[in-house]
């Protein structure tokens, strides 16, 4: 586990041999380690740069390798779809369900968002409910508002 200092607080990053496997927001209870690999300097630098870019509403120039192996097939499909939501963009749970060709899976989309182990970089904060309602966020609605505001939204 590595601590990454930002202007918004200390993020905790967990790495495996395959890449970044978990990212915890400042103030979160430290979770049990998911991997025993200390990150190499390039991965840690890429993670720090990506976090700082996202916190200021900018697109990261490069993401660290992501290890999303903890998820089910459906969750991994959703998380990859969320990576395609650009900074400043949002998608509803229903829109993502249609993208995944599971139009009745909006509730499952919400559950998969809450299981996202890397919620800042795999941007579940950009997933909203119908009618421009915020919906939920694993790091709390204050973080979701803050991140969306940095990206140009006013909720």
- Active-site residues, by number, are 124
Strands (E), the chain: 2-6, 9-16, 19-24, 91-92, 127-128
Q: How far is CA 73 from the centre of its chain?
A: 17
* Torsion on CA atoms 87, 50, 30, 27, rounded to nearest 10: -60
């Amino acid at each position: 586990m590595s601590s990454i200092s930002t202007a918004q607080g200390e993020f905790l990053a967990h790495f495996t041999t395959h890449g970044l496997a978990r990212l915890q927001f400042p103030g979160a209870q430290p979770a049990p380690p998911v991997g025993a690999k200390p990150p190499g300097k390039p991965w840690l630098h890429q993670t720090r740069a990506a976090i700082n870019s996202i916190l200021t509403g900018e697109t990261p120039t490069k993401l660290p390798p992501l290890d999303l192996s903890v998820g089910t097939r459906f969750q991994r499909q959703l998380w990859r779809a969320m990576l395609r939501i650009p900074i400043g963009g949002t998608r509803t749970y229903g829109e993502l369900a249609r993208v995944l060709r599971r139009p009745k899976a909006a509730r499952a989309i919400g559950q998969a968002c809450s299981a996202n182990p890397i919620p800042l970089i795999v941007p579940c904060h950009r997933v909203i409910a119908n009618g421009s309602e915020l919906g939920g966020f694993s790091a709390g609605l204050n973080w979701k508002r803050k991140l969306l505001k940095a990206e140009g939204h006013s909720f």
